[in-house]
Chain A
Amino acid sequence: MRKSKKYKMPKKYPNAARLAKEYNERNSRKTFRIDKKLPVGVLWSYRGITLSLLALTLIFAVFRAPIAYQRLIRGLHELYDSIIFYSLMFKKEVVYNPIINELPDINFGAILPFNLEELRNILSVYFECFFSTDFFYSYMYEVSERAPFYSLGIIMFILFLISFKLIIDLYVSKANGRWFEKTRLFKLYEKIYVKIYFPVKIYIQTFFIYQRGHYYFTILKVLWLLNFNVIVVPIGALAYFFYFSRAFDLSSFYIQLYKLFLDVGIVLYLIPIPILIFFISKFIFRWQKKTGGVILRHQNALNIALLDKLSMSSLITAAMGGGKTSMAVVLALLLSCKFRNDALGIMYKYYKYFYRFPWSKFRKKLDYAIKQHYIYNLATIEAYFEELKSDFYAHPCPQNIFGYDIEHYDLFYNNGLYDVYIWDALETYAEAYFVYVMETSLIAANFPIREDYLIINAGNMIYYDYDFYSHPVDPETSHFSHILNWDTLRMGKTMVADSAYRNSFEFGIIVATEEGKERPNALETLTVKPTADECNQKNDMVPHRLKMSRHGGTIDNINFFAKIGDEQRAVDVSAPMREVSNEVSIEESTESRVAFPLFVFPLMLRDFFSWVFRSLNDEYDKCHGEVGFFMQIIRDISLLVIRPIDRIIEAYSYRVLTIKIGKCSDDNSGYAAYRFYLQNIVAFKKRYSTDTHRSHFREFGRRAPGGLNDSPTFTTLRPTNEQLLAANSLWLQKMIELGEINDDTLYEDD
């Protein structure tokens, strides 16, 4: 048995143990423990708070909420009884009356204003009464009786508006020359903020972090749910489910409804109204956030579906600021996600073919070969396998095929089309694995694009989390695109003479913004000679290379190569480059929309507060230099409302682009229109910078002796000759030159 020394790897993987430990720590509750970082006094005060919270819970349970526990015991009893009733389904001879249909013998007089009989009667006539005109008229009468009381609110609002105007006129619009003085009231306010509000805020915030690390806070939360009688409702529903599954007894519904009313009544009776409002608004907000997220993810899925409509190479065209580069970036991010998923799919496919093969060992060997740089592209994988295969053919034994038991398990698998040979499967798996496991970005672009997929590595197989919505912007999890080296795409002359990278691009996503500047059209390259010594657009053969690129980037018949370019007009790009691409032209774009249900109400609130804030603040900043208490209060309150709503607008905004996909040609036939969703959270979460070439312009600007502010302005509507000359304009210069020539010829004639 001959074993290649080159690929021998260590038997222990210290790295794997460390990664596994880190993974477990990350997923454990202990990670959140901040006890050791807290000062001793604060820690003990937190423990004191915990104990008093527990005491409060028990006091509440004993003195206020015994009724909830009575209901809980009754609910559990009903559940038990219903399960027994259900399990006796096939023993019909046993007569069993479950207690679920009996009313609980607890005195509810204080909680509900009606009993079962009344409920039944009310419900029987309720809807009839609801649509009767008599009730409507009496309602209107009742409203008109109370109208003066409600109109007080309207009067208050009008008074507020008047006082607002008065405040602006009398106080805010009076300019004073005090510059950066703090008023006495503001000093007091600041003192209260610094000495009381800020420490208390930090203390409470830290407490909420502290409680995340301790399981007994979960118990406390459950106890409060019991105290508030919330848990009984699902228990009752479950009990009724078991009962109804056997009995199919619709007449029992009234009793259940009454019991539900009872339980909800107990909840309302036990929870104080402010806390109830807080929880309800929290639930509504959570629902809105969830639904907004669902809308965004659905749009993203539609975008992903659009990828199939695009060819390998697309050229995005739109006017300036039309969202070309944003769309290119989003497409690149989606393709990156798609490629990784495709690679994983290939791996699964071969995993299924030879599921007895020791894949984890195989992956570790590949990891080692990648780490040692034996494998660094698809070509080296082939070379790597040639050597392994020659070892195996010389000595066919399990040791030469990663420990696979070749005597008892198959080397071939019939997939319905042909026999797959294990070494072919391994090689394809390795290629897919190489694409998948490459932790750096799959994008090569001529500008930086930031990806933020998470790499979940517990020391074994790594997985990617490609969620575009939940990952914060963090330098540790940011992956920037590779610098696009055009020499890797050149078949002909390269910019670096005899570059080793020539023609070496295999797989990935090429993003070229302003493609027409790199590969201009025939008109702009009239003077460029194909026979020139240095590389240019006519002798580097990039279009030829691109036409063939798919052949280098295909694994198991799945393509891993894509090119996305953008340019204002398709005809600005050279014809061969244009013709390998599908044109994606952005026809129109909607205004920004917010994918957040019922957002119009917060938006109205925000607009009102913005109006108050802006109109006051602008006036104040114009006339006042001092820092005043009154304005600070207005700022604090209005920004407390405005800022969270603005944050939602940023996160949930999107635009719908109408795009047309077709072949780049002069006639516009054969175009099909689609929708593309450009979401803020995907496209503008520090993904790319719209001023990529800024440093270039800054360099020029630094050399100039003056800026716009230093250049002279016109003084009248008819400029003087000197002012015209200061423009350094070719046209004006020519006019003056012509004038001079004419003068000369005039003199010559004389």
Chain B
Amino acid sequence: MNKTLKYTFAILALIFGIFFISYSIFVWHEVAEFIR
């Protein structure tokens, strides 16, 4: 695979990973807040 393409995918994966983790924590936090 082309190096540029590979790096682009890697950065996209990194951004998605950060989004996914922060979003799951956010949802948990919000739901817990609501239940209390």
Contacts and interface: CB of A to CB of B under 8 A. Distances in A.
Interface of A: 113-114, 118, 121-122, 125-126, 129-130, 135-136, 138-139, 142, 600-601, 604
Contact of B30 (A114, A138, A600): A138
B24 A118 contact: no
Given A135-B26, A600-B9, A600-B10, 15 more contacts: A113-B32, A114-B32, A118-B35, A121-B35, A122-B31, A122-B32, A126-B27, A129-B27, A129-B31, A130-B23, A136-B23, A138-B30, A139-B26, A142-B26, A604-B10
Interface in B1-24: 6-7, 9-11, 14, 23-24
B21 to A, nearest CB: 12
Contacts of B31: 122, 125-126, 129
B23 A139 contact: yes
A113 B25 CA distance: 13
29 contacts: A113-B32, A114-B32, A118-B32, A118-B35, A118-B36, A121-B35, A122-B31, A122-B32, A122-B35, A126-B27, A126-B28, A126-B31, A129-B27, A129-B31, A130-B23, A130-B24, A135-B26, A135-B27, A135-B30, A138-B30, A139-B23, A139-B26, A139-B27, A142-B26, A600-B9, A601-B10, A601-B14, A604-B10, A604-B11
Contacts of B30: 129, 135, 138
Contacts of A126: 27-28, 31
Contacts of B14: 601
Interface of B: 6-7, 9-11, 14, 23-24, 26-28, 30-32, 35-36
Contacts of B35: 118, 121-122
The 3 closest A-B pairs by CB, nearest first: A600-B10, A121-B35, A139-B26
Contacts of A601: 10, 14
A142 B6 CA distance: 31
B14 to A, nearest CB: 7
A441 B26 CA distance: 63
Contacts of B9: 600
A115 to B, nearest CB: 11
A174 B14 CA distance: 39
A600 B14 CA distance: 11
Contacts of A135: 26-27, 30
Contacts of A142: 26
Contacts, number: 38
Nearest to B35: A121
A121 B28 CA distance: 11
Nearest to B26: A139
**Chain A's interface: helix, strand, loop or mixed, by majority?**
helix
B6 A600 contact: yes
Nearest to A126: B31
Nearest to B36: A118
Nearest to A117: B35
Contacts of A130: 23-24, 27
A604 B8 CA distance: 10
A146 to B, nearest CB: 10
Nearest to A598: B10
B26 to A, nearest CB: 5
Contacts of A139: 23, 26-27
A691 B14 CA distance: 44
Contacts of A121: 35
Contacts of A125: 31
Contacts of B23: 130, 136, 139
A317 B4 CA distance: 34
Nearest to B10: A600
A139 B28 CA distance: 12
B25 to A, nearest CB: 10
A125 B31 CA distance: 8
Residue of B9, B28, B31 with most chain A CB atoms under a 10 A cut-off:
B31
A136 B22 CA distance: 11
Contacts of B24: 130
A341 B1 CA distance: 39
Residue of B9, B14, B23 with most chain A CB atoms under a 10 A cut-off:
B23
B32 A604 contact: no
A139 B25 CA distance: 10
Contacts of B32: 113-114, 118, 122
A118 B11 CA distance: 37
Nearest to A138: B30
A602 to B, nearest CB: 10
Contacts of B11: 604
Nearest to B29: A113
Nearest to B14: A601
Nearest to B24: A130
B20 to A, nearest CB: 10
B10 to A, nearest CB: 4
A125 B23 CA distance: 15
A454 to B, nearest CB: 38
A144 to B, nearest CB: 13
B11 to A, nearest CB: 8
Contacts of B7: 600, 604
Contacts of B26: 135, 139, 142
A130 to B, nearest CB: 5
A135 B31 CA distance: 10
Nearest to B6: A600
Contacts of A113: 32
Contacts of B27: 126, 129-130, 135, 139
A166 B9 CA distance: 32
Nearest to B11: A604
B8 to A, nearest CB: 10
A124 to B, nearest CB: 10
Nearest to A593: B1
A719 B7 CA distance: 50
A114 B34 CA distance: 13
Nearest to A123: B31
A239 B26 CA distance: 33
Contacts of A114: 32
A601 B17 CA distance: 13
Contacts of A600: 6-7, 9-10
A122 B35 CA distance: 8
A728 B16 CA distance: 67
A130 B26 CA distance: 9
A27 B27 CA distance: 54
Contacts of B36: 118
A273 to B, nearest CB: 16
Contacts of A129: 27, 30-31
Nearest to B23: A139
A117 to B, nearest CB: 9
A74 to B, nearest CB: 26
A607 to B, nearest CB: 8
A310 to B, nearest CB: 31
